[in-house]
Structure 1
Amino acid sequence: MPLLEISVVPVGTGSESFSSDVEKAISLIEQNGLKYQVTPTSTIIEGEIDKLMDVAQVIHLNEIKNNAKRVVTTIKIDDRVDKPIHLEDQVNKVKD
C-alpha cells in the first residue's frame, strides 16, 4: 500500500501556529477512512494512490479556503511494487 508524506505550510494567516491546520487535515484524512501518523513536521498517510492524491489536494485547497495568502505543500510518495508496505511495518522495522 503506498505511503504519502505531506507537509503543508500556510503563509499569511496572521498566526505562527499550525496546530489547528493539522487538526483540520487529520479530520479530512479520517473522513476518507485512511490510516495516518502525525510526526513533528509532517503527516504520513497510507492508502491507494488515487485516494492519497485526492486527499492531499483537498488538504492543500482547504488552506486556501481558510484565507492563507500562500500555501507551500510538500508531498513525498513511497510506492513499493515488489512487496506490500504498511505504515506500522515501516515504523516497527526501525524500532526493532
Structure 2
Amino acid sequence: MPLLEISVVPVGTATESFSHDVEKAVSIIEQNNLKYQVTPTSTIIEGELDKLMDVAQVIHLNEIENEAKRVVTTIKIDDRTDKPISLESQVNKVSDH
C-alpha cells in the first residue's frame, strides 16, 4: 500500500506553533480510518492512493479555512509495485539492523 508523507506550513497566522495544526490533521486522518505516524517534521499516512490524495487535500484546505494567509504543503509518495510496503515494514527494516 502506498505511503504519503505530508508537511503543511501555514503562513500568516496568529501563532508560530504548529501543534494545533498537526492535531487537526491527525483528526482528519483518523476520521478516514488510515494508519499514520507523526514525525517531528511531517506525518506519514498509509492507504490507497486516491484516499491519500483526498485526505491530503482536506488537510491542506483546512489550513486555508482556518485563515492562514498562505499554505505551503509538501507531499512525497512512496508507491512500490514490486512488493508490498507498510509503515511497520519500513520502520522494522531500519530497526532490525
TM band (smaller chain): over 0.9
How much has 1:14 moved relative to structure 2?
Answer: 1.6
Paired residue type of 2:80: R
Paired residue type of 2:47: G
Q: Deviations over 1:17-70 (max 9, x none)?
A: 000000000000000000000000000000000000000000000000000000
Once residues 29 and 76 of structure 2 are traced to their aligned partners in structure 1, the CA distance between those partners, rounded to angstroms, is 16
Unaligned runs of 5+ in 2: none
Once residues 14 and 70 of structure 1 are traced to their aligned partners in structure 2, the CA distance between those partners, rounded to angstroms, is 13
Unaligned runs of 5+ in 1: none
Match of 1:55? 55
How much has 1:76 moved relative to structure 2?
Answer: 0.1
Q: Could you say what secondary structure the match of 2:45 adopts?
A: strand
Paired residue type of 1:68: A
Residue 27 in structure 1 maps to residue 30 in structure 2: no
Once residues 92 and 68 of structure 1 are traced to their aligned partners in structure 2, the CA distance between those partners, rounded to angstroms, is 37
Match of 1:72? 72
Match of 1:84? 84
Alignment TM-score, normalising by the size of structure 1: 0.99
How much has 1:9 moved relative to structure 2?
Answer: 0.1
Q: Percent identity?
A: 86
Match of 1:5? 5
Structure 1 residue runs of 4 or more that deviate by more than 2 Å after TM superposition: none
Q: CA RMSD in A?
A: 0.3
Aligned residues: 96
